[in-house]
Structure 1
Amino acid sequence: MENREDLKSMQGLLPVVERGGSLFWPSRAVEALKFLSLGPHQSKVSSGEALFAAISDIRTSLSLHRPLPPSVSEGYALYFDELISRAEAASCFGEVVPELAGLLLRLPSLLETHYRNADTLLPGVETGLRFLGSQEPGIVFLSQELIAALLACAFFCLFPENERGAKYLPLINFDHLFESLYENYTEAQEHKIKCITHYFERISSCMPTGYVSFERKVLPLEKQLLNVSYPNAEFWSKSGIPLCPFEVHGSGFIEDQSKGALEVDFANKFLGGGALNRGCVQEEIRFMINPELIVGMLFLPCMEDNVAIEIVGAERFSDYTGYASSFRFSGDHVDKMKVDSFRRRKTRIIAIDALCSPGMRQYKLNYLRRETNKAFCGFYDQSKCNLYERLFHNQGTELEGSKFKHDYNASNTVFKSNHLLDESCSTSVEIEMREEECIDQLVGVPEEQASSINDEDKIGIATGNWGCGAFGGDPEVKSIIQWLAASQALRPFILYFTFGIESLQNLERVSHWILSHGWTVGELWNMLVEYSNQRYNKETNLGFFKWLLPSLNAYELNMSGVPDVP
């Protein structure tokens, strides 16, 4: 079997055994899974209590000796024996559970096929399932069928946990999901599990055939050749990059945007946050309606300040209403997102973690820099690293207006054709065509045609109140920080969903005024730093928007066609 090193890095994280180049379940586990796959008439598994007993037997066969708390058993019994209808339970035990057992029996062969083909998916780029360390950039491609098998492992609580703490990995088994249901019952927790069981119903009746990629993006802390490094405050202060268009949405949800944008996951530093526990806010909800995201928790450890995680292709299976305690599963969702040449859905999600409970320290320069760099790490496109290097370091402080656009288009055309011949700076596959097709189309393209070609991968940002709410960030400051990062990353636009938060009622007017005056990233950054310094030193208690606008010429503001902000 190829990719032995990749598999070795997963030692202690997968439930299957590797020996002599082959993967397999221990014989006792095979017997238990085969028995379960025969259905309730043979296995007698027709209740939550019996299901948990079967799970315990399989765990014992895998030498997972830590007994699960009694409340986990009670959680499975509560959900399957009391909270869902008898018809739903009959379908689950008669069809879904046997299908999942059969899927688990295929897990060793699915993994072997995965490792055998991992080197052929993207020639020259490692894509196999492996542990990606905290400062290790890389990408993993998984088929949706393999993801389904891995999630079945989590549902049956079969992943070993001894190595996870030492590797700073979140827990991935579903025991705490059911434990929390029993110990602290809420309807929201019940409906989180409904999303998960609905996913299993869907894949049991029709297995999806696409792929999902999980990419760990790292901004090197030290300057490296052919790499965008972790920016310092001077970098932001002197940036001459124009601000990108800013579109404010007072209603709607990030996951429903239709412009093909990169969608921000307001992440915990441990991917998934409380998705498999009691959490039920933005990140956790996204992991419930797109359960394939959960698999990233298997091999991606906590994010440091210079790290982000980009996931492309996760399918949505559920609709929902509400938020936090009012969250409810509201039915099946048929994902109509188109697929790319790698058979991934063009759903792009970027996980970035904000400062938690930052209080007044969020206005200090080093924390402003931390948050802006974190967003930039998530928003920048690694396939454009040569272009970034040219524009940011050689010309970025001098470019203005049309000169920037001309140089961007010209450099991007040259960059794309050259980059495909030299992959030394990136593993990113955020391109819509395979390498040969790109070379054929881009080599020798005149500058004036560059922008039309580049339209295909001008992917904007869809975001909202990142790091606010439970994390306690300043919504006005966070909105500006994300705008700065998206603009510096050469994103063509930012869609900002305010979720009706009162402090952002003037965001559209403020962004319109700033854009009408042609501010650069550096100019807006410097204003944000000045405001934050005053706020930290208690020289003002105004929000950023009200602090900014009174210092502007009211007549000029009205001439721009934007009403005064009260």
Structure 2
Amino acid sequence: MENREDLISILPFLPVELSSSSLFWPSQVVEGLKALSRGPEHSRVDSGEVLFLAISDFRDSLGFSERLGVSTAEGYALFFDELMSRVESRKWFSEVLPSLAALLLRLPSLLEIHYQNADNLLGGVKTGLRIIGPQEAGIVFLSQELIGALLTCSLFCLFPTSNRGAKDLPAINFNQLFASIYANYSENQEHKIKCLIHYFERISSCMPTGCVSFERKVLSWSRVPFSVSYPKTDFWSKSAVPLCHFEVSHSGLIEDQSCESLEVDFANKYIGGGALHRGCVQVFLLQSLE
């Protein structure tokens, strides 16, 4: 495992550790997850307020220096203790949370199985979880169970964040998501969190057994008869070239437009955009008048 370039590239951004060709959780994290997996009668985690304290303990055991803010603590308490009904909350802490803890206990073995199989899925093509550099094509295959475990790490805020900026990686933990619902409540934000939480309820009751692939395709310049270089990452943000004249249609489908039109999505520069913050998608139709 230590010789796998794909694993080594992503390892600094994962919460697990590698030693003697094996991935593992620190012993304190294992004990905490085992207690959670046995239910609230063993872990005493039966509310959003106490869940946040357990999350903070996990982060301390992983050696994280960054402290989660007060708004995050209040957000977990607000959602699980007030916005959830009593019936839903009891089910969450007695059934869903123990199942998620058991899933996290399997994360090291799920990752090891993933890398053991990664080189045999597409006839030698790399499919392992890894950091893919700028303008580098690649594909990654992940089992839905592994995806569920990784997203549970996000829910528990277990991904290290101090080094993500060096690779321009977007936020992945849920701390800002929960902080936002407390600091500036909106019904839309509440339902966005409910949608995400429903995913964890579904996988805890019936774990899907399929695989998901993520592929980046890069346009090749090999057939261009003259020298062309790829634009840098800040090319468009610094461009001073004026746009042609256009009109914006606020209503109707693109199929209903009388002239040639473009459908424009004002997307975030990161994949996933503001899904873990307060992001909303805006779509307009642009119609060129030239």
Match of 1:195 in 2: 195
Q: The residue matched to 1:141 in structure 2 has which SS?
A: strand
Q: Which runs of 5+ in 1 are unaligned?
A: 233-246, 251-263, 283-464, 469-473, 478-543, 548-566
Task: Name the counterpart of 2:101.
Answer: 101
Contact 2:137 2:216 in 1 (8 A): yes
CA distance in 2, matches of 1:231, 1:73: 44
Once the two structures are superposed, residues 37-88 of structure 1 have per-residue CA deviations (whole angstroms, 9 ceiling, x without a partner) of 1111111111000000000001110001211001100000000011110011
Q: Distance in 2 between matches of 1:12 and 1:100?
A: 23
Higher relative contact order structure (alpha carbons within 8 Å, sequence separation ≥ 6): 2
Q: Which has the larger radius of gyration?
A: 1
- Specify the alignment match of 2:261 in structure 1: none
Q: What is the rounded CA distance, in whole Å, between the counterparts of 2:265 and 2:102 in structure 1?
A: 33
Q: Structure 1 residue 280: deviation in Å?
A: 2.4
Task: Describe how 1:316-465 pairs up with structure 2 within 5 A.
Answer: 465=283
The match for 2:277 is 277
Q: Which residue of 2 aligns with 1:150?
A: 150
Residue 12 of structure 1 aligns to a residue in which SS? Answer: helix
Partner of 2:119: 119
Structure 1 residue 133 displacement after superposition: 1.1
- Give the deviation of 1:267 after TM superposition: 3.2
- Other-structure match for 2:210: 210
Change (3 A) 1:3 1:208: farther
| Match status 1:184 vs 2:184 | yes
Q: After superposition, give the CA deviation of every residue in 1:3-47 in whole Å (9 maximum; x if it has no partner).
A: 711100013100000111110001111011111111111111110
Give the count of matched residue pairs.
259
8 Å contact from structure 1 (residues 47, 80) kept in 2: yes
Provide structure 2 residue ranges, at least 5 long, that are not aligned to the other structure. 232-252, 257-263
Q: Is the CA contact 2:16–2:108 (under 8 Å) kept in the aligned structure 1? A: yes
Q: Which runs of 4+ in 1 moved over 6 A?
A: 229-232
Matched, 1:129 2:115: no
* C-alpha distance in structure 2 between counterparts of 1:86 and 1:170, whole Å: 34
Shift of 1:230: 7.8
Distance 2:219 2:14 in 1: 29
Structure 1: distance between partners of 2:223 and 2:116: 33
Using the aligned pairs only, state the percent identity: 63
Say which structure is richer in helix.
1
Provide the rounded CA distance (Å) in 2 between the counterparts of 1:34 and 1:100: 11
Amino acid at match of 1:210: G
Return the offset for 1:146. Answer: 0.3
- Structure 1 counterpart of 2:214, which letter? F
Counterpart of 1:476 in structure 2 is: 287
Residue identity matched to 2:176: H
- Separation in structure 1 between the aligned mates of residue 87 and residue 71 of structure 2, nearest angstrom: 25
SS at match of 1:139: strand
Residue 124 to residue 38, structure 1, CA distance change in 2 (3 Å): same
Q: Normalising by the residue count of structure 2, what TM-score does the alignment of the two structures yield?
A: 0.84
- Amino acid of the structure 1 residue aligned with 2:29: A
Q: Deviations over 1:77-120 (max 9, x none)?
A: 00001111001101110111111110000000000000000011
Q: Structure 2: how far apart are the matches of 1:225 and 1:76?
A: 54
Q: Distance in 1 between matches of 2:11 and 2:144?
A: 22
1:33 paired residue number: 33
1:55 touches 1:156 (CA, 8 Å); kept in 2?
A: yes
Q: 1:536-547, aligned counterparts within 5 Å?
A: 544=289
Alignment-mate amino acid for residue 135 of structure 1: Q
Determine the C-alpha separation between the residues in 1 that align with 2:230 and 2:55: 49
Q: TM-score, normalised by structure 1?
A: 0.44
RMSD: 2.2
Matched, 1:224 2:222: yes
> Does the aligned pair in 2 maintain the 1:145–1:207 contact within 8 Å?
yes
What corresponds to 2:244 in structure 1? none
